[in-house]
Amino acid sequence: MTEPLRLHYAPDNASLVIRLVLEEMGLPYETVLIDRSVREQDSASYRKLNPNGLIPVLETPQGPIFETAAILLWLADTYGQMAPAVDDPERGPFLKWLFFASNTLHADMRVLFYPHVYIDPTQAEVLRAGIRPRLRRHLQLLDNQAAAAPSWLCTEQPSVLTYYLACMMRWMALYPAGSDCGWFELSDTPYLQRILNRLETRDATRAAISAEGLGATPFSSPTHPTPPQGSAT
């Protein structure tokens, strides 16, 4: 592969997961900032890359790829890093929890952040109150997996799923801005907490901190970003 990878991103959005994995893999890549303040993700040029108008998109020699889990799996399989190989006995468990993270945890988190998309805005807090216990249950299931320390969810070597979960847990502690985030306590999931603490010492995380203004402890004690490129929202 000679063509550069090109990540279309906005600070502290789902593209952060992809940035972290690209850095962890040591892959060269370019970045293209999508200005959410003017809804650049809705532009005709961006929708040619992702007709859904969502961030991120990763341009690859095989064409643009969207959907966070799809990009992660493509990177892992293309470069043979950060996931069990297709013939590894742990491949099946890894895949089911990767897609649980994407299809269940991340999907429910979007309900928490954007309830007005799903319900009359006057009922937003009712919907949020209902989704928070579900999110806590999802995290407990994942913490139970982390307790067993499989190769794809342990403190020693991160997988693509590790960074995906770390970012989602960061966002649960911070967003939606201006609302009560006290329902989320990292200490409720001690095995995942250890993983997040370890991730903060890695070069990939330090690079993302610098690029997106994430603060010194982006996973264990996150603060709102101050990205050099402008607002993350």
What domains can be seen in the chain, in order of their start residue? Answer: 91-202 (1.20.1050.10)
pLDDT digits (tens, 9 = 90+) for 129-138: 999 999 999 9
Radius of gyration of the chain (CA): 17
Question: What's residue 19's pLDDT?
Answer: 98
Specify the residue for token string 């090109």.
6
Task: Return the half-sphere exposure (C-beta side, CA atoms, 13 A cut-off) of residue 42.
Answer: 4
Q: Which residue has the higher pLDDT, 183 or 229?
A: 183
Question: What pLDDT digit, counting tens, does each position of 158-172 carry?
Answer: 999 999 999 999 999
pLDDT computed for residue 137 by the predictor = 98
Alpha-carbon gap, residue 97 to 144, rounded angstroms: 12
Backbone φ and ψ of 138, nearest 5°: -60, -45
Calculate the average pLDDT of the chain.
94
Q: Model's pTM, two decimal places?
A: 0.95
